A and B are shown apart, each in its own frame.
Chain A
Amino acid sequence: DGGITQSPKYLFRKEGQNVTLSCEQNLNHDAMYWYRQDPGQGLRLIYYSQIVNDFQKGDIAEGYSVSREKKESFPLTVTSAQKNPTAFYLCASSIPQEETQYFGPGTRLLVL
């Protein structure tokens, strides 16, 4: 069953803590993306990767970090430098030639 999985579904972060959100895909897609969505807002791009071992900053990369060591995986770390991390985080993947992006189910991050 092909698709994109994100875990956990809900994540709680304490002040000053780094947390990592998981994103895995078995669609054999080259490109992967992380978006943040706030209530009533559209999707804002955090980071994206078009190939293994390479990634680019999006519009709101400050306070976040990523890695792309495997084609299937693109984890996102929300660092303590991100002062307002409460949001719905969405991972997506695509075949670059097709441009169409497919989304995982999302992770909701809350601050304790």
Chain B
Amino acid sequence: QKEVEQNSGPLSVPEGAIASLNCTYSDRGSQSFFWYRQYSGKSPELIMSIYSNGDKEDGRFTAQLNKASQYVSLLIRDSQPSDSATYLCAVTSGNTPLVFGKGTRLSVIA
């Protein structure tokens, strides 16, 4: 059974701080990694995708991937109250549906 693990939180950070969200996965054959943001009562929306080891930056968001450690993370710089949401990590080995973690709830305190 392929598993994706996330700390459920809540993770509370002050406004302007860096939020660090972590995710581990069990399938060593995983090739593609995604972070989705889900506001309460809404559907998930894609924030970042990452496919190779290292960092990938997009605005205030940075995804980090370490395949040897089976670990992927999302950093949010200059956190804003509007970033308060649940962040879902998703993983696939290719040609198979995404496997989602249960999500980490982030709360940014103004």
Partners in one complex: yes
A63 within 8 A of B: no
Report yes or no: B44 in contact with A43, Cβ–Cβ below 8 A.
yes
B25 within 8 A of A: no
Q: Number of A-B pairs whose CB atoms are under 8 Å?
A: 42
Q: How far is the CB of A45 from chain B (nearest CB, A)?
A: 5
Report yes or no: A58 in contact with B46, Cβ–Cβ below 8 A.
no
Classify the secondary structure of A's interface with B: loop
Chain B: interface residue total (CB-CB under 8 A): 21
User: With A and B bound together, what is the CA distance between A89 and B44 in angstroms?
Assistant: 12
Chain A CB within 10 A, most for which of B34, B90, B97: B97
Which residues of B have CB within 8 Å of A35?
100
Report yes or no: A105 in contact with B42, Cβ–Cβ below 8 A.
yes
Q: List B residues at the A interface (Cβ < 8 Å).
A: 4, 8, 32, 34, 42-46, 49, 88, 90, 92, 94-95, 97-98, 100-103
Q: List A residues at the B interface (Cβ < 8 Å).
A: 33, 35, 40-45, 48, 58, 90, 96, 99-106
